[in-house]
Amino acid sequence: MINFCTFATKFLVMNLNSILRGIGEVITWTFDTVLVPLGQLPNYAFIALGGFGLFLWLSMQNKYNKKSEQEGTLK
């Protein structure tokens, strides 16, 4: 019974530091093996996605404004 308690406190107890260290190691691995070899490609992809989203948003807003003007609800 004493040996099991020693084992449990040594290996099965997980604190916040061990959780955050594991998350940090995963993030570091991701940057080192995925993002660094890609170079500027992720940056360009995010910029293109943002530009597409802006275009979509403004075109939808224009459509809603025209509909609102036709119905007379635009102030």
Full-prediction pTM beyond 0.75?
no
The reply to whether 34 and 1 lie within a common domain is yes
Tokens of 13: 């107890």
Same domain, 54 and 32: no
Give the integer Cα–Cα distance in Å for 61 and 27.
38
Reply yes or no on whether the pLDDT at 1 is more than 60: no
**Same domain for 28 and 45?**
no
Residues 44 and 36: their CA atoms lie apart, in Å, by 14
69 has a pLDDT exceeding 80: yes
Q: Give pLDDT, residue 13.
A: 63
Structure letter (DSSP) for residue 68: H
As for how many domains the chain has, the answer is 2
Question: Based on the domain organization, do 16 and 34 belong to the same domain?
Answer: yes
Claim to verify: residue 48 and residue 75 sit in the same structural domain = yes
Q: In Å, what is the CA distance from 44 to each residue of 11, 41, 53, 56, 58?
A: 44, 5, 14, 18, 21
pLDDT digits (tens, 9 = 90+) for 15-60: 788 889 989 999 999 989 988 899 999 999 999 999 999 999 999 9
Question: Domain residues for 24?
Answer: 1-38
